[in-house]
């Protein structure tokens, strides 16, 4: 007897928000939400004198033309290639337009193909998964304090107010070669993914994030999370994208085993 597995296609609803915060004069974060292609990106620029703003925009602009793919492998390869390409273009821009002054950007991406997802990232912008009322992190910061935590030198609590909490060890646009990390995972109905810059998670703790995501409506949750960061002082720019898996109205897909 053949078993029939019926999986209803998932529709990914999303909400993208970015705010300059309460202290900074310029928003150096950029976000990109390509719902039709199931691709989402948050980039956090650095460099000052508008260089950070330019850097993050270069990252998201590099993904504007990314379309749909037949396989997740092709999808991942294209996004990674674009990140490596913009790394070189950012170095060239810095040399020509900024007299070699340093500029760069973090990048965290989420892409979904069928029942599979992938995260590619550089730096300390993060991807979280909220599933079954549990919040888990799918990316690991490329930062000084994260390395100290992994080595057991400091605790998670000590990292929150550590003097080197803003020091990252990897970014787009700061070196001729950059290593892009990847995490692959399964996705399912009801999943909520949160992509965000450090301006959010440094201002809003995990319990509060969970409380907001439990509301269900992601537009409301996104607005409330931004407001929470602002209410807590928002010392940095604050950016996030929420992506939630809902039942699609399309016909059921079947896979025969």
1 within some domain: no
142 within some domain: yes
Number of domains in the chain: 1
- The stretches of the chain forming alpha helices (DSSP H) are 51-61, 72-97, 144-150, 156-160, 198-201, 206-213, 218-231
Distance CA 92, CA 188 (A): 41
Give residue 9's pLDDT.
87
214 within some domain: yes
2 within some domain: no
Give residue 224's pLDDT.
98
Confidence grade of residue 256 (pLDDT, cut at 50, 70, 90): very low
* More confident: 48 or 230: 230
CA terminus-to-terminus distance, the chain? 10
3 within some domain: no
Give residue 165's pLDDT.
63
Confidence grade of residue 254 (pLDDT, cut at 50, 70, 90): very low
47-75: per-residue pLDDT in tens? 876 799 999 999 999 999 999 899 999 99
Report the CATH number at residue 244: 3.60.40.10
Kindly report the pTM of this predicted structure.
0.91
Q: Is 145 helix (H, G, I), strand (E, B) or coil?
A: helix
Distance CA 118, CA 250 (A): 23
Give residue 137's pLDDT.
98
Element (H, E) at 196: strand 192-196
110, pLDDT greater than 80: yes
Quote the mean pLDDT of the chain: 91
4 within some domain: no
Domain holding 136, by residue range, is 9-252
């Amino acid at each position: 007897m053949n078993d029939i597995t019926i999986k209803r296609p998932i529709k990914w609803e999303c909400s993208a928000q970015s705010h300059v915060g309460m202290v900074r004069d310029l928003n150096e974060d950029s976000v990109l939400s390509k719902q039709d292609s199931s691709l989402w990106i948050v980039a956090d620029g650095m460099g000052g004198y508008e260089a950070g703003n330019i850097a993050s925009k270069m990252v998201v602009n590099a993904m504007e033309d990314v379309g749909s793919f037949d396989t997740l492998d092709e999808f991942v390869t294209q996004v990674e290639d674009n990140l490596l390409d913009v790394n070189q273009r950012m170095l060239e821009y810095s040399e020509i337009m900024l007299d070699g002054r340093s500029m760069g950007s973090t990048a965290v991406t989420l892409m979904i193909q069928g029942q599979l997802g992938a995260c590619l990232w550089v730096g300390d912008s993060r991807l979280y998964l909220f599933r079954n009322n549990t919040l888990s992190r799918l990316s690991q910061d490329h930062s000084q304090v994260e390395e100290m935590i992994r080595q057991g030198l400091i605790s998670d609590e000590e990292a929150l107010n550590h003097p080197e909490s803003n020091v990252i060890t990897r970014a787009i646009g700061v070196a001729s070669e950059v290593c892009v990390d990847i995490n692959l995972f399964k996705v399912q109905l009801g999943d909520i993914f949160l992509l965000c810059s450090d301006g959010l998670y440094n201002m809003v703790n995990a319990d509060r994030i969970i409380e907001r995501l439990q509301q269900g409506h992601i537009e409301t949750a996104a607005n409330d999370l931004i407001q929470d960061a602002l209410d807590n002082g928002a010392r940095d720019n604050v950016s996030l994208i929420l992506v939630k898996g809902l039942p699609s109205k399309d016909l059921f897909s079947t896979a025969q085993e």
